[in-house]
Amino acid sequence: MTGRRRSETVVGMTMIEARGLVKAYRSTKAVDNLSFEVRPGAVTGFLGPNGAGKSTTMRMIMGLDRPDAGQVRIGGRRYGDLRWPLREVGALLEAKAFHPGRTARAHLMSLAASNGIGRRRVEEMLALTGIEKAADRRAGKFSLGMSQRLGIAAALLGDPGVLLLDEPVNGLDPEGIRWIRNLMRGLAAQGRSVLVSSHLISEMAYTADALIVIGRGRLLAQTTVAQLSAHGATLKPGGSLEEAFFQLTEGVTDYSGGLS
Amino acid sequence: MTTATTSGHRAASPAPGYGFGAVALMEWRKLRTVRSTWWMVAIFAVAMIGLAIVALSHEGYRQLSAADRAAFDPTHDCFIGLVLGQLLVGALGVLVMTTEFSSGMIRATFAAVPRRPVVLAAKAAVLGAVTLAAGEACAFAAFAAGQASLAASAPHATLGQPGVLRAVVMAGAYPALVALIGLGTGALVRHTAGAICAVVGVLFVLPLLLAPFSASVQDASQNFLPHPMANAMTAVKPLAHALSPWLIFALLCAYAAAALAAGAWALTARDT
């Protein structure tokens, strides 16, 4: 009994393990034999060009999409087998995952009910994300930035040990971007596992410690920002993290433009 | 004090911490906090009670032929509002499911409660309770308003007469069953327009399409098409070729159960 209880309450124990994930839509493989680990206490950047399979992978972690092959475990369990999903995993998968006619407070109160989370926590999250003054407005009228904040409030409702954030800075103003960066770093510093996807390597340079780089659904590198940066410097004098990223993803981007 | 499971053992599917009550509370809060729910219930009430008053105050019993007088059923005629009311509750049932898909809310819902059939069951319980309460309240109100509007010369129905209470209670239960059929259809089809077309098609268009057919097809339809079934269920004077009201009611419950089962299967089988 004690062993099981400990694994549920110690935040630092939870990690995500994906093994051989495959997901195909018609003939194209969105995710192709993808394995990786997300460790606690760090922000892990999930990086790849548009269409690399980041969102599909995140949906498979959440049990929303079923993999054609392979498996993913959170703290050793399938998402569907989590005892209190919202208290173990928080996710921001898209900016507007709410009914436009419902107020922000009503949206959070409904989700909270399902996992036995009280009104006080809802009020705290409204305050933390800075949307308490708009809490009784219909969420459909929210700007993209406020919608993202509501999504973050929903993700943090259950004080989860694992956070999945899909492109959280998209559409945010500079102040909002800085707020999310600090929030993610703070959450990781508390011992949580934070997986954040982006197609911008420059954004990852500010927030991520570890990096999972994918392209066309395949793992290109599981590395750290420091290592990739060091590799960039060897490519050419003054070479950067960006340089190394472009070398990694060369040939797996679907579209490329140029000035000739 | 039980035999301890070994530390390496992991049950295939451990019981979740959240119970059905918690999920039902989530669904109640969702249903309650969307304005369209209450608009649709309000219009449903106006249709049920208003049409009962209009129909029975214009019954023109004195002008009826002897045959029509013999067939006159002052209970059944109070529930003409079901023609419109069924479409409203059917649409409400559809929307409870399809707005989650159109808004993306479904991912937040399934992230909170990954057991999808539990989500659908909770929606069915909450929607069923609300539409049953509204349906019964409106059925009794429509009956009372209808009898009050009926000309003094015409025969009146009272709840004490044989079969009348049964007819009123079934008129109130029918909307809840239609709402559940809508909910199951919404889970199966996912798109609002498609699901509403399917529900309106079965409730409204199919009976019209059968109109040109022979009397035997018409007689059969009252035993298997929802709205003609509602006619048979709310009739006090027995209709020719109709099954017993209780049998029809049981069949309609089976329709709702089948729609929900199909919806639960679709939610589980498909990606979100």
Instruction: Please count the other Cβ atoms lying within 10 Å of the Cβ belonging to residue B76.
Output: 23
- Whether B48 shows a pLDDT value over 70: the answer reads yes
Distance of alpha carbon B25 from alpha carbon A114, whole angstroms: 7
Distance of alpha carbon B8 from alpha carbon A87, whole angstroms: 24
Report CB contact under 8 Å: A99, B272.
no
Interface check A94 vs B, CB under 8 A: yes
Pairing of strands A69-74, A210-215: unpaired
Non-local (6+) Cβ contacts of B164 within 8 A are B75, B157, B158, B236
Q: How high is the pLDDT of residue B196?
A: 97
Distance of alpha carbon B130 from alpha carbon B134, whole angstroms: 6
Tell me if B26 sits within 8 A of B112, measured CB to CB. Answer: yes
CA angle at residue A75 from A67 to A98, to 5 degrees? 65
- Whether B143 shows a pLDDT value over 80: the answer reads yes
Q: How high is the pLDDT of residue B13?
A: 65
Specify the DSSP class assigned to residue A77. Answer: B
Q: Report chain A's mean pLDDT, rounded to a whole number.
A: 89
Q: How far from B138 is each of A209, B41, B74, B175, CA to CA, in Å? A: 62, 10, 16, 10
Q: Which amino acid is residue A4, in one-letter code?
A: R
Between A66, A83, A115, which is nearest B112 by CB? A115
Non-local (6+) Cβ contacts of A173 within 8 A are A145
Tell me if A91 sits within 8 A of B112, measured CB to CB. Answer: no
Range name among A30-39, A219-228, A235-244, B106-115 with the lowest pLDDT average: A235-244
Between B23, B33, B272, which is nearest A102 by CB? B33
- Whether B9 shows a pLDDT value over 50: the answer reads no
Distance of alpha carbon B204 from alpha carbon B219, whole angstroms: 17
Query: Residue A246's pLDDT band (boundaries 50, 70, 90)?
Result: confident
- ipTM field: 0.90
Q: What is the enclosing helix (H) or strand (E) of B82? A: helix B82-103
Range name among A73-82, A128-137, B32-41, B199-208 with the lowest pLDDT average: B199-208
Q: How high is the pLDDT of residue A197?
A: 95
Between B13, B14, B114, which is nearest A85 by CB? B114
Q: What is the CA radius of gyration of chain A?
A: 19
Q: Which amino acid is residue A180, in one-letter code?
A: I
Q: How high is the pLDDT of residue B8?
A: 43
B236-256 pLDDT, tens digit each? 998 888 889 999 999 999 999
User: Taking residues A100-114, what's their average pLDDT?
Assistant: 97
- Whether B2 shows a pLDDT value over 70: the answer reads no
Distance of alpha carbon A150 from alpha carbon A142, whole angstroms: 9
- Whether A5 shows a pLDDT value over 60: the answer reads no
User: Taking residues B30-37, what's their average pLDDT?
Assistant: 96
- Whether A12 shows a pLDDT value over 80: the answer reads no
Q: Report chain B's mean pLDDT, rounded to a whole number.
A: 92
The SS3 assignment for B124 reads helix
User: Taking residues A168-173, what's their average pLDDT?
Assistant: 85
Q: To the nearest whole angstrom, how far is the Cα of A48 from the nearest Cα of chain B?
A: 22
Range name among A158-167, B9-18, B257-266 with the lowest pLDDT average: B9-18
Interface check A217 vs B, CB under 8 A: no
State residue A77 phi and psi, 5-degree precision: -125, 155
Higher pLDDT: A235 or A68? It is A68
A199-217 pLDDT, tens digit each? 888 888 889 999 999 999 9
Report CB contact under 8 Å: B34, A66.
no
Sorted by where each begins, the domain ranges of chain B are 20-269
- Whether B271 shows a pLDDT value over 50: the answer reads yes
Query: Residue A13's pLDDT band (boundaries 50, 70, 90)?
Result: low
- A23 → chain B, closest CA residue: B271
The two three-digit tokens of residue B192, written as one number: 């609002």
Q: How high is the pLDDT of residue B53?
A: 97
Distance of alpha carbon A133 from alpha carbon A149, whole angstroms: 13
Q: How high is the pLDDT of residue B4?
A: 42
A112-166 pLDDT, tens digit each? 999 999 999 999 999 999 999 999 999 999 998 999 999 999 999 999 999 999 9
Instruction: Please count the other Cβ atoms lying within 10 Å of the Cβ belonging to residue A220.
Output: 19
- A59 → chain B, closest CA residue: B272
- B24 → chain A, closest CA residue: A114
Range name among A40-54, B82-96, B218-232 with the lowest pLDDT average: B218-232
Sorted by where each begins, the domain ranges of chain A are 96-157
Quickly list DSSP for A18-64.
EEEEEEEETTEEEEEEEEEEE-TTEEEEEE-STTSSHHHHHHHHTTS
With contacts defined as CB-CB under 8 Å, which chain B residues touch A76? 10
With contacts defined as CB-CB under 8 Å, which chain B residues touch A109? 29, 33
